[in-house]
Amino acid sequence: MMSRKTSRREFLLQASAMAALSGIAGTGLFSTGAFAQAGPVRVTHFGGPYQILDQAVGAPFEAAGLGRVEYTASLTPATIGQLQASRANPPFDVVMLSRPAAVRAGRAGLLETIDTSKLPNLANLEQSSLSPEGFGIPFVLDTIEIMYNTKMVSSPITSWLDLWRPELQGKIALPSTSVVFAPDFVALVARSLGGDEKDPAAIDAAFEKIIELKSHVRTFTTNPEQASALMERGEIAACPQFGVRISSVIRNNPDVARAAPSEGVAARPYDLAIPAESPNKDLAYEYINFIIGRQAQENLATGLWATTVNRDVVVPDDLKDKIMTDFSKLIFWDDTYMASVERDWRTRWERNVQSG
């Protein structure tokens, strides 16, 4: 692990985690000796703001004597590709995946069906956040919201359909087909038009509406980092974006705001899954159980500004307006259905929206 100067926020994250873990170590819940000789648990995350995992989770996990964590930044498509290429000898022990991808990977035999008996902290999670497929466990929820520059719009954005405002012509970014939330955007537009994502006619109407938006599009971004960079440089006025990444931009640019549209905000559960042939499954389960525990979850809330899944988490007062904590306002897709239509929707997006 490379050494670098620790910020005040990171110091507080580590200090709070250490205090809690000093109690955990003595409970007997974890047997540190069993992992003393084990190799590191190899974990992926999405990079960018998720690098805080090193301090918020990895450092206290190691300090508790549970094992060493090696993080690798890897987005869902790249991770799935590596698991497919190295099925018998996966390069990771725990992988962070968007849920539809986790469902597909699990059905393809790339992931282990999670043994919930090995996760005592699972009982404290919001039940609505769990995947019925059982191939992964959520550790945070991201959201699909609208990021916009308050200096470049005439009034606050409150609806998904506000992206069609004439004043935004040539000033928005949309995701390319490679960005994982492109299907979410289609479903959100369908709902904004009064339809349902499971109704093919409503999806047809959503695509027609999105095609009308093409004159507003400055660029199709290939990844979430590109959208954030464009916003930070003032090159776009608005775009759909992950809530965690909006928070990261807002920290550095007071002109940027987030909109939680009135039609609803899509919840994007990020699951931690275990490759089927991982040689280090015991430590993988220890890591997942640790990260869904209250202290690690509170570290993620304060360090990442993410919606956490542990019901016992206490969000500081100064962050309550920056973190979505009301699960009733979130739209949870039928993951099995979304996984079944995702390929078709992406093909239509690439052919009719991005390239047409």
Task: Check if the beta carbon of residue 94 is closer than 8 Å to that of residue 288.
Answer: yes
What pTM, to 2 d.p., does this model score? 0.75
Whole-number pLDDT of residue 35: 47
Q: What is residue 33's predicted lDDT score, i.e. its pLDDT?
A: 44
Residues 16 and 126 reside in one and the same domain = yes
Query: Cα-atom radius of gyration of the chain, to the nearest Å?
Result: 20
Split at pLDDT 50, 70, 90, the class of 38 is: low
Q: Is the pLDDT of residue 206 over 50?
A: yes
Same domain, 282 and 229: no
Residue 223's domain is classified under what CATH number? 3.40.190.10
Residue 2 lies in a domain: no
- Is residue 190 located within the same domain as residue 334? yes
**Is 336 found in the same domain as 197?**
yes
- Is 115 within a domain? yes
3 belongs to a structural domain: no
The residue-averaged pLDDT of 93-116 equals 95
Q: Is 205 exposed, middle or buried (0-12, 13-18, 19+ CB in 10 A)?
A: middle
pLDDT recorded at residue 325: 82
What is the reported pLDDT for 135? 96
The whole domain housing 336 covers: 142-267+328-354
Mind listing the pLDDT tens digit for each residue in 300-317? 999 998 899 999 999 999
| Number of domains the chain is built from | 2
Do residues 204 and 211 touch, judged by C-beta distance below 8 A? Answer: no
Question: Does residue 49 belong to any structural domain of this protein?
Answer: yes
Quick one: 15 and 110 in the same domain?
Answer: yes
79 assigned to some structural domain: yes
pLDDT score for 9? 45
In a domain, 1, yes or no: no
